[in-house]
């Protein structure tokens, strides 16, 4: 394990001792005011941090997921500065990683290639639509596109089997996951839109997803595991790779029948036993990516529910509204009972950048 990752862990543990899962920085006002106050404090004059607790830094995945909402909220200048900051740091280091340390050093957790970091970064460049930024970093992004193919994909364009890759569930060790296949499709899409070459430009990832992962009721976790997981059934639809309304209905229904949306969205798996094989660091955060509740994926889930049952989506938006008011902030993760997540070594993050997504949902369905 690198010294940088150890330092990150020590920093989070020290915060845990200080916060003890209850002494969060509370903002006043209604849920909308709280979220706007969080976003204002996340901006440090150079870039938008990921949260006000454990992650006072840039994460490619979190920023990429939240960027459309940030732009709709009028935070274009802050978003451009953030992306420029990240691209400069990444290009200096010669690689895209999961995140930058608070000091701006590119590192990855876990120490494995994470396809979604590159995919979300390219998607962010395209969504921002800043030609000067693209021109400045186009050569670097082209090199990282080749690296993506070398690290994550086989000769047929499918995700490599029996290779541990990082991603949304970064503690999980999976075998060519559905989620990573979605990221391969995103890379293909974004390269075409940005004028970059992609080695597997002709691979039909929609067909791969249906043939290799669709069970008839849901997308399975990976090529050898039929388990119903939230990330496998949210991101093919949320990112627009699969646009089949009936499959969306079936996937949402499967997640609901498994109780993944209870007490509120969303748990990654129904029972902790279904978490599967994990990296050794999972010992410090029991059930971290099992049946704990993750707003990071819960908010995209609500977007999907709105397409099949708007009233239920409205209910979930109000659930988060109550949670934001109750805690005076936007928390990172909750336990299976809906309480702020804690372990002997870790307390949930606070003041998450994801609250921008909730603000947009509140505007549409609140």
Task: Write down the pLDDT at residue 280.
Answer: 43
* Separation between Cα atoms, residue 343 and residue 13, nearest integer Å: 10
* Separation between Cα atoms, residue 81 and residue 21, nearest integer Å: 32
Q: pTM of the full predicted structure? A: 0.95
Tell the residue number behind the tokens 């609500």, with chain if given. Answer: 302
- H helix runs in the chain, sequence order: 3-19, 31-42, 60-72, 76-93, 115-128, 131-152, 178-194, 205-213, 230-238, 245-257, 295-308, 310-327, 355-365
CA atoms within 13 A on the CB side of 344: 4
8 vs 30: which has the higher pLDDT: 30
| DSSP 3-state of 82 | helix
288 vs 267: which has the higher pLDDT: 267
Residue 345 lies in domain: 3-365
pLDDT, tens digit (0-9, with 9 covering 90-100), for 185-232:
999 999 999 999 999 999 999 999 999 999 999 999 999 989 999 999
Task: Write down the pLDDT at residue 106.
Answer: 96
> What are the residues whose beta carbons fall under 8 Å from the beta carbon of 63, sequence distance 6 or more?
48, 50, 82, 83, 86, 120, 124, 353
pLDDT, tens digit (0-9, with 9 covering 90-100), for 160-197:
999 999 988 876 788 999 999 999 999 999 999 999 99
* 177 beta partners: 222
Q: Give burial (CB, 10 Å; 0-12/13-18/19+) of 336.
A: middle
| pLDDT of 58 strictly over 90 | yes
Tokens at residue 20, please? 């003890």
pLDDT, tens digit (0-9, with 9 covering 90-100), for 277-316:
654 455 556 766 678 999 999 999 999 999 999 999 999 9
> CB of 62 within 8 A of CB of 100?
no
Region of poorest pLDDT, from 76-80, 128-132, 152-156, 284-288: 284-288
The DSSP code sequence of 199-223 is: TTTT--HHHHHHHHHB-SSSBEEET
* Separation between Cα atoms, residue 69 and residue 83, nearest integer Å: 15
> Domain tally for the chain?
1
Average pLDDT, the chain: 93
* Separation between Cα atoms, residue 204 and residue 280, nearest integer Å: 35
pLDDT, tens digit (0-9, with 9 covering 90-100), for 67-104:
999 999 999 999 999 999 999 999 999 999 999 999 99
Mean pLDDT of the region 103-113: 90
> What are the residues whose beta carbons fall under 8 Å from the beta carbon of 326, sequence distance 6 or more?
none
* Separation between Cα atoms, residue 111 and residue 288, nearest integer Å: 18
Task: Write down the pLDDT at residue 308.
Answer: 97
Task: Write down the pLDDT at residue 125.
Answer: 98
User: Model confidence at 138, in pLDDT bands (50, 70, 90)?
Assistant: very high
Task: Write down the pLDDT at residue 20.
Answer: 80
Task: Write down the pLDDT at residue 21.
Answer: 73
Q: Give burial (CB, 10 Å; 0-12/13-18/19+) of 333.
A: buried
* Separation between Cα atoms, residue 198 and residue 165, nearest integer Å: 20
User: Model confidence at 150, in pLDDT bands (50, 70, 90)?
Assistant: very high
| DSSP 3-state of 150 | helix
**Cβ atoms within 10 A of the Cβ of 249, count?**
14
pLDDT, tens digit (0-9, with 9 covering 90-100), for 307-363:
999 999 999 999 999 999 999 999 999 999 999 999 988 999 999 999 999 999 999
Task: Write down the pLDDT at residue 2.
Answer: 78
* Separation between Cα atoms, residue 153 and residue 181, nearest integer Å: 9
> What are the residues whose beta carbons fall under 8 Å from the beta carbon of 40, sequence distance 6 or more?
none
Q: What is the CATH number of the domain that holds 347?
A: 1.50.10.10
Task: Write down the pLDDT at residue 279.
Answer: 45
């Amino acid at each position: 394990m690198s010294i940088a990752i150890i330092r990150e862990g020590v920093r989070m543990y020290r915060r845990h001792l200080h916060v003890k899962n209850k002494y969060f920085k509370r903002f006043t006002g209604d849920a909308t005011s709280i979220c706007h106050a969080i976003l204002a404090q996340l901006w440090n004059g150079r870039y938008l941090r990921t949260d006000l607790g454990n992650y006072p830094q840039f994460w490619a995945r979190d920023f990429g997921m939240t960027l459309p909402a940030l732009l709709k909220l009028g935070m274009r200048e802050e978003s451009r500065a953030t992306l420029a900051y990240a691209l400069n740091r990444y290009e200096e280091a010669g690689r895209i990683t999961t995140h930058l340390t608070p000091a701006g050093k590119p590192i990855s957790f876990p120490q494995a290639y994470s396809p979604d970091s590159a995919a979300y970064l390219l998607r962010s460049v395209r969504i921002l639509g800043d030609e000067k930024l693209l021109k400045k970093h186009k050569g670097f992004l082209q090199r990282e596109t080749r690296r993506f193919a070398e690290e994550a994909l086989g000769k047929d364009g499918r995700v490599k089997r029996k290779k541990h890759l990082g991603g949304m569930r970064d503690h999980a060790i999976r075998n060519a996951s559905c989620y990573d296949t979605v990221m391969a499709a995103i890379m293909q899409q974004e390269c075409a839109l940005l004028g970059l070459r992609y080695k597997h430009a002709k691979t039909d990832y929609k067909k791969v997803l249906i043939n290799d992962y669709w069970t008839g009721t849901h997308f399975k976790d990976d090529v050898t595991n039929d388990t119903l997981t939230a990330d496998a059934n949210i991101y093919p639809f949320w990112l627009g790779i699969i646009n089949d309304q009936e499959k969306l209905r079936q996937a949402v229904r499967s997640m609901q029948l498994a109780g993944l949306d209870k007490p509120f969205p969303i748990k990654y798996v129904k029972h902790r036993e279904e978490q599967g094989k994990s990296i050794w660091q999972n010992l410090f955060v029991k059930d971290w990516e099992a049946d704990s509740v993750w707003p990071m994926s819960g908010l995209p889930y609500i977007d999907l529910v709105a397409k099949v049952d708007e009233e239920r989506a409205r209910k979930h938006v109000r659930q988060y509204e109550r949670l934001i008011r109750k805690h005076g902030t936007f928390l990172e993760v909750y336990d299976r009972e809906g309480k702020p997540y804690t372990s002997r070594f870790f307390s949930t993050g606070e003041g998450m950048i994801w609250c921008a997504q909730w603000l947009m949902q509140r505007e549409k369905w609140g």
